[in-house]
Structure 1
Amino acid sequence: MVLECKHVWTHISAYLDGTLDPTLLAEVQRHLEHCEICSAILDSTRNILVLTADERVFELPLGFSDRLHARLAQEMKLAAQDEPVRLPE
C-alpha cells in the first residue's frame, strides 16, 4: 500500500503519539523518508506540541487586551451589518 500525503497528514497525530499499528507505522515512515512536505508538516506539528506543552507564561504587550477587544467589537459590528435582515412572519 502506498500512502499519499493527505493520508499521512491524517495520521500525523497518532504517529507522534506512537499509537499507529506497526504496518501503518512502517508505511508512514517510508513516506516520510521521501516526502519533504510531509516531513516539514511532521516537524511543524512536533514544534507546536513542544511550544504548547511549555509551562512558561508570556506577558502580553501593554494595551493588547484593549486593542483585541476593540477589534473584536468592530468585527462583530461589521458581521452584524452583513447579515440579512429577517422580517417577522
Structure 2
Amino acid sequence: MVRIFKIVATLEGLSLLALFFIAMPLKYYFETPEYVRPVGMAHGILFIAYVVLAFMLKMEQNWPVKKLLLVLVASIIPFGTFYIEYKYFSKQQQS
C-alpha cells in the first residue's frame, strides 16, 4: 500500500507542477488553453486517489490525526507531496 501511495504522491505532485507551471502559463500568456483541461483532469483524478490512499493508510498504519492532516495539506502545496514522501516514506519498507 505504501508503494502505491508513493507512486500516486509523486504523480500528483508532478501533475500539480505541470498544471501551475506549464498548462496555465500556456493558457494565459500564449493563448493556448487546450492543455489545461487534460492536465487538470489528470491532476484531479490523482488528487482524489492521493486523498483516498491517505485515509486508507491512516487506517492501516494507525496514523495520528496530525500526520493525516499534514499529508492532506501537503497535497495542495507545490512540492508538498515530495516533502511528505521524503519525510514519512523514504525509510519505510515498500509493501
Larger helix fraction of residues = 2
Structure number with greater CO (CA < 8 Å, separation at least 6) is 2
TM-score by length of 1: 0.31
| Largest Rg, 1 or 2 | 1
